[in-house]
Structure 1
Amino acid sequence: MPSDLSEVKRRQNLELQRKNLELTQLYSDLRESFESMSEVNKKLRVVNEELETRTKAQAEFINIAAHELRTPTQSIIGYCEMLQMFPESRKHYLERLARNADRLYTLISDLLDATRLETGLLNLTNTDFNITDTIRDVVNDIEKKSDILNKNQVRIKPKIKLVLPSHPVVVHADNKRIAQVLYNLLDNAIKFTNSGTINVSVNLDTTNLVKVSVKDAGKGIHPQIRTKLFQKFTTMSDKGIGLGLFISKNIIEAHGGSISGKNNKHAFGATFSFTLPAATTTKE
């Protein structure tokens, strides 16, 4: 009889041990499940925050775009009405119509480019070309279209000085997109310069990088925007929505280059520079 009791106790102990092992394993499984759920929740929170940020950014983008597009559109409608009422002043109104149409086209192009950049849909068509020829073309184009308001409140043509090497400087890039970057930098320089000369220079350094610089004698980079200079909607001007430098940065970086902006040390104004890898056909 005692042996039977011992056997029963032994079996009961074994069963208890088995149950304890099962409970221990169950606890371990539950802990792992809770940890996994906690990790999933963290990831979901991050995704939700990113979605909220993107939604907010998209709403801001749409609001700013709608506001900026409305201004030249209203001007165009207004000048069309004035043209009908006063046909004898058509030259005056046609000039302003052309200016606002050009502004509208630029705004729409910038908005589309910003969208393409953020969705990774900006395509580059790279070829070998002499960047000094592109600079001359952009300068000729911008000199025809742009003017500045001097200290006497008189509109004059900007003074742009080219400091370019006599030999070709060939880069392998998208010519139109590089011209767009040059136009953006020169347009910014003109916006903030009412006297002095804007210098455009090209240098080829020892690491085979072509450096293009646009140096103005304007107000310089405002401390308020210095740290976010190349972000969307960063501007101290009332003549744009702050997409030019954002687009320029992305275009240059897509070519394997870099872009920077800084105030001039011993003079007024600022200098914006970008680099591009030189093509193998470039000669020093």
Structure 2
Amino acid sequence: MAEELGLLIDGATSYAIYMLDTEGRVTIWNLGAERIKGWTEAEIIGSNFSKFYTLEDVAIGKPVDDLARAAACGRIEEDSWRLRKDGSEFLASITLTALRGAGGELRGFGKVVRDITDQKAAEAGLVRREDHLRSILATVPDAMIVMNEHGTMSSFSTAAEQMFGYAKTNVLGQNVSLLMPPIERRDQAKFLRDYLTTGGSSIIGNVRMSTAQRASGDVFPIELAVGEASIAGERIFTWFVRDLTNRQKTERQVKELQSELIHVSRVSAMGTMASTLAHEINQPLTAIANYLETTRDMIGDTKDGLLSEIAEALGLAAAQSLRAGTIVRRLRAFVDGGETGFGIERLDMLVEEATSLGLLGAHEAGIKVTMTIAAGLDTVLVDRVQIQQVLVNLIRNAIQSMATVACKKLTIATAPDRDGWVRVTVADTGIGLDPDIRARLFDAFVTTKEDGMGLGLSICRTIVEAHGGRIWADADAGTGAGTAFHFCVPLAGDDDV
């Protein structure tokens, strides 16, 4: 029996198995101990086991302490560094057992040692790789979700937490359908079953567009790629998810900018054409005014009532022709970037001239017009034609907004604003402002008219701001409906006179 036991001990070549007496001297030494530590049985029998310890451990009395602990506890287990015969060190898994007789007396110690240097190195390498993988998953911008063939999630990356708004601890173990909108959630289980049954791989490795749902309930567009792997006989799937919200927003903005660019190109072409037309039209307008005035002078003073009315009409027509010529010259200066005609103007006359042109057809449309010109605001420092252009634009817009309403009231008023400024108001009882465009009301190319270009209010803002003023709109004109537009222009000071 003893011989068979010796054969068994010597056959365990992966383990160093040896016996110590109560003082720590080696009494039995197997072939595994010889292979691992390097000493032969003849070399080591009778030697103290402290020679297997590093010099640092011997200096602190660890060999004696280990025997004392094993005697007290019966057995100790630990991983520690040990020496070979050639002086090299190795990491050992050690079990030291106290051997006692039938009466409990200490007979010696049995020791089993296994070299775990390579094992620990492999484990450390695995830990490093896992740490590296975790660091990648924590920083990669795309969400990564791992699930089994039933859709149960087993991994949820940091980017996935940020994208979907779920904490990892709240989703692991749940079905991936949690991340889908209701309309797609009910199809997920069927999709996985069909895929596993048919073995189809058309989606594996391919990128497709889909939608997902955040913890807040918001549905958003995603780009989805799916990977498949088999681990220990179990099929797992990995989702790589990219949030397309910002990309689609950027694409929409690009399309809007492209559309605006087309509008700008058209406006630029119109500006070139307007500059050319302004030069060509100005001369015939001047000629028309001269012909009209000459015809009026030819009638002269007459007692004939009809001829008097004709002469008066000819005078008004000549004045409007001259006014049209002035507008054309201002337009050309505006397009060419020339200087504008700032000057001191009487506010009441400026408003009256603008309304006479802007209110054409208002009476026939059944519109009641009220004008309120505040006292003490006599003169302003403006470009008369440009400010009249703003007024005419606002008045025509107001008339058009009241085309389909029963109550048609238009109010044109002036009032003091902040010190040194006067406020001009054009208010109507029309259909009011569309809430969708209220914030962009004065932006270029924003319009509610089917045939409009959306430049009128943008030009008005440019003109008013060029005067140092501001323009804005109120959704309620004080009558429960309609819109009130206001703009401010500077009063003429003593230094301007």
TM-score range, shorter chain: 0.5 to 0.7
CA separation in 1, counterparts of 2:396 and 2:411? 13
Greater percentage in helix: 1
**Which residues of 2 match residues 218-229 of structure 1 at below 5 A?**
218-229=430-441
* Residue in 1 that maps onto 2:391: 182
Secondary structure of the equivalent of 2:390?
A: helix
Gaps of 5+ in 2: 1-253, 270-323
The 1:239/1:162 distance shift into structure 2, 3 A limit, reads farther
**Which residues of 2 match residues 133-282 of structure 1 at below 5 A?**
133-144=349-360, 146-147=361-362, 156-194=365-403, 195-264=407-476, 267-280=480-493
Q: Does 1:60 align with 2:272?
A: no
1:21-71 per-residue CA deviation (whole Å, 9 max, x = no partner) reads xxxxxxxxxxxxxxxxxxxxxxxxxxxxxx9987653323446999xxxxx
Q: Does 1:130 align with 2:346?
A: yes
1:2-38 per-residue CA deviation (whole Å, 9 max, x = no partner) reads xxxxxxxxxxxxxxxxxxxxxxxxxxxxxxxxxxxxx
What letter corresponds to residue 129 of structure 1 in structure 2? Answer: E
Q: Indicate conservation of the 8 Å contact 1:171/1:279, yes or no.
A: yes
**How far apart are residue 167 of structure 1 and its match?**
4.7
**Which residues of 2 match residues 31-46 of structure 1 at below 5 A?**
none
Identity of aligned residues (%): 26
CA separation in 1, counterparts of 2:352 and 2:260? 37
CA separation in 1, counterparts of 2:486 and 2:356? 20
What letter corresponds to residue 161 of structure 1 in structure 2? Answer: T
- The structure whose RCO (Cα within 8 Å, separation 6+) is larger is 1
Q: Indicate conservation of the 8 Å contact 1:252/1:259, yes or no.
A: yes
**How far apart are residue 123 of structure 1 and its match?**
3.3
Q: Indicate conservation of the 8 Å contact 1:131/1:171, yes or no.
A: yes
The 1:238/1:54 distance shift into structure 2, 3 A limit, reads closer
CA separation in 2, counterparts of 1:52 and 1:223? 23
**TM-score, reference length from structure 1:** 0.55
Greater percentage in strand: 2
CA separation in 2, counterparts of 1:125 and 1:180? 13
**How far apart are residue 208 of structure 1 and its match?**
1.8
Q: Indicate conservation of the 8 Å contact 2:421/2:491, yes or no.
A: yes
Secondary structure of the equivalent of 1:269?
A: coil
What letter corresponds to residue 259 of structure 1 in structure 2? Answer: I
What letter corresponds to residue 227 of structure 1 in structure 2? Answer: A
CA RMSD of aligned residues (A): 3.5
What letter corresponds to residue 389 of structure 2 in structure 1? Answer: Q
Secondary structure of the equivalent of 2:434?
A: coil
**Which residues of 2 match residues 62-77 of structure 1 at below 5 A?**
62=265
- When structure 1 is superposed on structure 2, of 268-277 and 195-204 the one drifting more is 195-204
CA separation in 1, counterparts of 2:483 and 2:374? 22
**How far apart are residue 166 of structure 1 and its match?**
4.4
The 1:52/1:215 distance shift into structure 2, 3 A limit, reads closer
**TM-score, reference length from structure 2:** 0.33
What letter corresponds to residue 133 of structure 1 in structure 2? Answer: M
The 1:136/1:281 distance shift into structure 2, 3 A limit, reads farther
The 1:169/1:262 distance shift into structure 2, 3 A limit, reads same
What letter corresponds to residue 398 of structure 2 in structure 1? Answer: A
Q: Indicate conservation of the 8 Å contact 2:377/2:416, yes or no.
A: no
**How far apart are residue 170 of structure 1 and its match?**
0.9
CA separation in 2, counterparts of 1:122 and 1:251? 14
Gaps of 5+ in 1: 1-50, 67-104, 149-154
Greater C-alpha Rg: 2
The 1:281/1:65 distance shift into structure 2, 3 A limit, reads same
Q: Indicate conservation of the 8 Å contact 2:394/2:426, yes or no.
A: yes
CA separation in 2, counterparts of 1:121 and 1:65? 13
Q: Aligned pair count?
A: 180
What letter corresponds to residue 337 of structure 2 in structure 1? Answer: L
Q: Indicate conservation of the 8 Å contact 1:170/1:281, yes or no.
A: no
Secondary structure of the equivalent of 1:156?
A: coil
**How far apart are residue 276 of structure 1 and its match?**
1.1
CA separation in 1, counterparts of 2:435 and 2:255? 29
What letter corresponds to residue 438 of structure 2 in structure 1? Answer: R
CA separation in 1, counterparts of 2:338 and 2:462? 10
**How far apart are residue 169 of structure 1 and its match?**
2.3
